[in-house]
């Protein structure tokens, strides 16, 4: 959310209802593509400087200093998606069957030039580990996006996923969270 103005202390929204709807539509689309393991379409939503971060605790401090579950710069995210696309990523072969509920969506900030938005939402992801134990795994948490308008379209510049269970050992997390 670099360069963004914090939400006003007033009750008023930081963006128009139209932009709010556009952002919500983007987040729902992103969630649906991740649920359905449509990796290439999902990757088309990210900026060239995308940072994808899933910390092993609260999302505070500099991720460079510690160890995270996922701490992908754009190049590493490309590797992640390339690996998922090989067809032999056993940890996702077959892909997990997933559906996530995205709720409590708020646009918290907008940059001074009006191109970048900071959002927060809660989620619950239901995952069937179809490639291994056949068990239902439930992943609750909060997701924060930094969305930037590029050539008129919204793109993800950052996605930070704070799992409720972040401090506990996690089972395989080889899908797009």
Partner 1 sequence: MAGTEPRDRPAAAVDYRTLVSEDRVHGSLYHHPAVFDDELEAIFTRGWVFVGHESEVPNPGDWVSRRLGREPVLLTRHRSGAVHVVANRCSHRGTALCWAARGTSNRFQCNYHAWTFDLDGTLVAVPYPAGFDRDKDDLGLDRPGQVESYRGFVFANLDGSAGPLATHLGEGGTGLIDRLCDLSPTGRIDVSRGWIGHKVSSNWKMWPESDNDGYHLNWVHASMVDATPDTYYNETVLGGETGNQSRAVDWGDGHVELDFRPSYTRALAWLGTTADRVPGYCQALEEARGPERAHRLLWDGPPHALVFPNLFLGEMNLAIIEPVSPTEMIHWHTAVQLEGVDDAFNTRLRRQSEAAMGPAAFIVPDDAVTAERIQGALAGARPAWADRGRGWLDVSRGARREQTGPGGERAALVSDETTNRGFWRQYRRVMSSRLTAPSPAGGAA
Q: Which residues contact 103 (CB under 8 A, 6 or more apart)?
A: 121, 122, 123
Q: Is 68 in the site for partner 1 (CB under 8 A)?
A: yes
Of 91 and 124, the one with the shorter C-beta distance to partner 1 is 91
175, 37 contact by CB (below 8 A): yes
114, 5 contact by CB (below 8 A): no
Region of 3-11, 32-40, 149-157, 168-176 interacting with partner 1 (CB under 8 A):
168-176
Helix (H) or strand (E) holding 29: helix 17-35
On the CB side of 174, CA atoms within 13 Å amount to: 20
Task: For the segment 94-153, give every residue that binds partner 1 (CB under 8 A).
Answer: 131-133, 135
Helices (H), 44-149: 74-84
Binding footprint of partner 1, residue count (CB under 8 A) = 35
Of the candidate residues 4, 7, 19, 56, the single one contacting partner 1 (CB under 8 A): 56
Of the candidate residues 66, 136, 138, 153, the single one contacting partner 1 (CB under 8 A): 66
Contact residues for partner 1 (CB under 8 A)?
Answer: 54, 56, 64-71, 76, 79-80, 82-84, 86-91, 131-133, 135, 167-174, 177
């Amino acid at each position: 959310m670099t360069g963004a103005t914090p939400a006003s202390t007033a009750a008023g929204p930081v963006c128009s209802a139209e932009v709010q709807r556009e952002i919500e539509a983007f987040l729902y689309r992103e969630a649906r593509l991740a649920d359905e393991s449509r990796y290439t379409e999902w990757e088309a939503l990210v900026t060239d400087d995308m940072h994808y971060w899933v910390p092993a605790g609260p999302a505070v401090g500099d991720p460079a200093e510690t160890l995270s579950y996922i701490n992908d710069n754009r190049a590493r995210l490309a590797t992640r998606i390339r690996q998922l696309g090989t067809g032999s990523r056993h940890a996702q072969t077959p892909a997990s069957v997933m559906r996530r509920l995205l709720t409590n969506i708020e646009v918290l900030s907008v940059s001074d030039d009006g191109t970048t938005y900071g959002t927060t939402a809660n989620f619950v992801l239901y995952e069937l580990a179809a490639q291994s134990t056949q068990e239902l795994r439930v992943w609750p948490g909060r997701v924060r996006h930094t969305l930037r308008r590029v050539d008129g379209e919204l793109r993800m510049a950052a996605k930070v996923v704070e799992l409720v269970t972040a401090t506990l050992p996690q089972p395989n997390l080889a899908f797009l969270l």
